[in-house]
Amino acid sequence: MISAVLIVKNEEEHLAACLESLRGVMDEIVVVDTGSSDGTVDITRRYTDRVLEFAWRDDFAAARNFALEQARGEWVLTIDADERVLDPAAARAALVAFCQNDPHIVGLVEILNITGSGDTAQEVVDETERFFRRDFFRYHGAIHEQLVSRNGEMATAPTGVRLLHLGYALDAGQAEAKAARNIRLLNREAAAHPEDEYVHYQRGKSYFSIQRYNEAASALETALAAIDWRRPARPRGAHGPLARKVLTDLVTTLAYCYANTERLADARALLQEHAEWGHPGTARADFPHAQGYVELMLGNLQAARAAYEASLEFGPGQEDVRGTGSFASAYHLGLIAEAEGNLVAAWNAYGQSLAFKPDYLVTLRRMVDLAAERQVAPPAALLATAERAAFQDVYVDRLRRYLENAMLAEAGFLAKTAAKLDPILLERCRRVLQEFAGRPES
């Protein structure tokens, strides 16, 4: 028997989609409510009669362990209300097969996290311990809780299950509120466990999420100082060897903190030190991508280009933040080519970026702006690579912006070029021109 266990509070926005995705995947769904005041409980009862209450006491591990105790299944999947199972039929088969493993092996689930919103949105991929024998493991930690073995034995293996996580797709106000709650709990945990690098790492991530870069850097520096970096052994923390993902994210996030507080030399030195060591955290596209960003900010185009090319060598299969080994690094190579005055190389790089992600808005905007600035139409091959609707939306938006800022040469070029590109695009541009022609100030 396989059970899904959730802890929830005021999750009516996401909960139905989560529970719907569990239909046919789980033999049982256990939901523990920690004090909802919206329609969460009513929604839950449409999917399961295993709905329980737990008095919240600022301790996620306590709530999760209570939920585990209520489950009847031998194996459990922990899932949050703002997540949903991708490809439920395949997930069921994968979990049933995984149950044949040694009970000390914990199943890893791939989670696609959508972070931020609008133009700042990113896709971050995690592999997290989520599927396990209920009587062999429990949770530890008041926040950003971690799974620990009851008898010390624990290994991991992928389940093949994938989840979509929408809980980080927040506007500024929501992000600030969530970060404030997390920071309060993490500061309490850090005071109680100053030796725990993971708590300081999560404190830094919370501050970074709301752009409090100095405080983030301080917390991440404390995390680095708490790690045993003796070589050639794998870096160790308070609870054993650190996961590769934590190492990569810790070092690169600290580098971005430095870059955002005008400490570019410190960012370069940090990344160079870890690159020379070559620990597992450097073996991901995200690491050279961060090096490329720092070198580009320092104006070292040759070093930046080499770093971004190294990111692309890792490829999309070896990236935590989507784009670091693909479309984002290729986009930055286009910027470098522009800075070097090589228009052909810039177009090629933007084409490579769109080959990875045809609707990547950052590249599409730069492509249209470059065409308007240079008064040269983008190559036909590049236009064929772009996602048509996304390109048209960007093109019309840039035309509107040029008109609003009285940049008539650029606007005129886009309007004229639209006639050569697409009849639908031409009509959309005509409507924008008519709109501005009718304004009194035009």
Cα dihedral across residues 128, 116, 268, 315: positive or negative: positive
Burial string for 41-56 (b: 16+ CB within 10 Å, else e) reads bebbeebbebbeebee
Find residue 242's DSSP bridge partners.
none
201 and 186 in contact (C-beta within 8 Å)?
A: no
Instruction: Give the Cα separation of 88 and 160 in Å (integer).
Output: 11
The domains found in the chain, sorted by start residue, are: 2-169 (3.90.550.10), 388-442 (no CATH)
pLDDT digits (tens, 9 = 90+) for 37-51: 999 999 999 999 999
Q: Note the pLDDT of residue 169.
A: 63
Q: Note the pLDDT of residue 57.
A: 93
Q: Note the pLDDT of residue 117.
A: 63
pLDDT < 70 stretches in the chain: 116-120, 169-172, 174, 440-442
291 and 307 in contact (C-beta within 8 Å)?
A: yes
Q: Return all residues near 64 (Cβ < 8 A) that are at least 6 apart.
A: 5, 7, 78, 139, 145
Distance of CA 99 to the CA centre of its chain: 29
DSSP label of 228: B
DSSP-derived 3-state class of residue 212:
coil
Q: Note the pLDDT of residue 27.
A: 97
Q: Note the pLDDT of residue 153.
A: 82
In one-letter notation, the amino acid at residue 143 is: I
Q: How many CB atoms lie within 10 A of CB 397?
A: 15
DSSP label of 13: T
pLDDT digits (tens, 9 = 90+) for 272-321: 999 999 999 999 999 999 999 999 999 999 999 999 999 999 999 999 99
3 and 72 in contact (C-beta within 8 Å)?
A: yes
